[in-house]
Structure 1
Amino acid sequence: MLKKTLLFGFFGFFTICFQAQTEKILNLPSFDKDIFHYGFYLGVNNNGYKIGYKPSSFNNAEVEVSSAVGFNVGLIADLKLHENLNLRFEPGLMSNTKTLFFKHIPGTENVNTREVGATYLHLPLILKMSTNRLNNIRPYVLGGVSYDYNFSSNQKNGDDNSVGEFRTTTNNLMYEVGIGIDFYLNYFKFSPSIRGVFAINNEIIPDNNSPSQWTDPIDYLGTRGVFLHLSFE
């Protein structure tokens, strides 16, 4: 529901602002002439997991994922490669909590539920492709890859689900795509965007002993999420 709300809200905001671009006075007319500039960003995220299954001794395995809204914050370094193409490095932190409900495991919530907290050092390298400037707005699309270090992974923890510890990988690769708009204001450029983030590698760490009803049925577990990203440059 949150993903749909963010998406419709963003496009509504885009439509209203686009229609409002009747003012001919250009703000920050020399902003895009700089080869290099800095900024920072704030945002919210809703990250879940994509889960793939494999044959195991546990029939009808199913894991339901629910996620809380998290936050992301970081810095921006932008290098102009072309009039319509920029290379960006956006190091930051992103954090949220996911709850996994193992529907094939009988028992109480304490037995078949695992809460997975994740705080990532997010290091994306992104290409931003923009249209020509139209008065004080400039739509763009972006895409890139990132290295993500999960401080909360528990990968090296010797305890596993037998004592309530669901473990994930510490080092991860992700890719992200998105769309946004640059708004040239009087003193800075404001750039809201909506982005999808997708894990490339498998993030699950198998339990120490097999068969494990928590990890044996899972073939792939990878982060999937949506960000509402607000940049100030």
Structure 2
Amino acid sequence: MKYILTALILLMLSCNSLYAQFNSDPILNIENKDKKLLNYGYFLGFNRYGFKFDYKEDRGNRDTDVQVLESTGFNVGLIGELRLNEFLDLRIEPGLYYNARTLGFPGFLNTEEGRRNAFREVKSTYINFPLLLKVSTKRFGNWKPFLVAGPSASLNLGSNEKSLEDNSSGTFRLKKWTYNYEIGFGIDFYLEYFKFTPSIRGVFGINDELIRDNDPNSPWTGNIDAMRTRGLFVNFTFE
């Protein structure tokens, strides 16, 4: 929730810096921008990635659950938009998303030797391929809010899926492909020469991403039933 609130504050600051666009009778910028069949652009932004864990055995103790220490990563990518009608657009947004997460396994913290095995750093470089439906309101002067949602597939270049080593050798393995659904909102601002769009989007993994250790009773993965991505994207788009 605190990450969502931070993103909302950033969006509000962006809106405030462009307050002049909210005049009751503004001069319309790039008036025909959305009337084109195809639009192109690029985006920059940042992300927060985490995991949601489901367990085979509920031990009734949160202290034994896997802990996820999240960090902030960055995004960069391209945009292609197909106009369907005045209020609907179909978008593709292939992009590169980098992030690193640290997983903590509390069960190892009882001994000094165990503490050396209690943490695993998971570095991920995703190439994300979303197909999104953008649903907009009518244009109000030089701004227009919208909702966006759709499926995506992410190729994890740092997955270690084919590695023969597992956590017993210090290697935490993930599947190469992740499938998600994404939902978010944003505001299009029509500036003098281009369209600027701050947006916030949540990402929810569908498939289990975990490659389990060779030992079915592994203290790292033995009790994990499923591990799925959860993420937050804040993007700034230029079209």
Q: Which range, TM-score by smaller chain?
A: over 0.9
Matched, 1:141 2:147: yes
Mark the runs of 5 or more structure 1 residues left unpaired by the alignment.
Answer: none
Aligned-pair distance for 1:17?
4.6
Alignment-derived partner of residue 78 in structure 2: 75
Structure 1 residue 24, shift from structure 2 partner: 1.4
Identify the residue that residue 212 of structure 1 maps to in structure 2.
Answer: 218
Tell me the residue number matched to 1:35.
37
CA distance in structure 2 between the partners assigned to 1:154 and 1:110 by the alignment: 21
2:26 maps to a residue whose letter is: K
Q: Calculate percent identity across the aligned residue pairs.
A: 44
Residue 15 of structure 1 deviates from its aligned partner by 6.3
User: CA 1:105 to 1:18, structure 2 compared with 1: closer, same or farther past 3 Å?
Assistant: same
1:3 CA drift (Å): 3.5
Say whether 1:10 aligns with 2:16.
no
SS at match of 2:210: coil
Instruction: Give the letter aligned to residue 27 of structure 1.
Output: N
Q: How many residues align?
A: 232
Question: Contact between 2:212 and 2:221, CA under 8 Å: does it hold in 1?
Answer: yes
Equivalent residue runs for 1:89-168 within 5 Å: 89-106=92-109, 107-108=111-112, 109-168=115-174
Q: Distance in 2 between matches of 1:18 and 1:207?
A: 54
The answer to whether the 8 A contact 1:56-1:216 is kept is no
**Contact 2:21/2:143 (<8 A) preserved:** no
Matched with 2:232 is 226
- RMSD of aligned residue pairs (Cα, Å): 1.9
- The residue that corresponds to 1:44 in the other structure is 46
> How far does residue 67 in structure 1 lie from its aligned partner after superposition?
1.2
Q: Which runs of 5+ in 2 are unaligned?
A: none
Secondary structure of 2:79's aligned partner: strand
TM-score normalised by length of structure 2:
0.91
The residue number in structure 1 matching 2:22 is 21
Contact 2:14/2:198, CA 8 A, preserved across alignment: no
Q: Using the TM superposition, give the Cα deviation of residue 2 of structure 1 relative to its aligned residue in structure 2, in angstroms.
A: 3.5
The match for 1:85 is: 88
Q: C-alpha distance in 2, partners of 1:104/1:180? A: 42
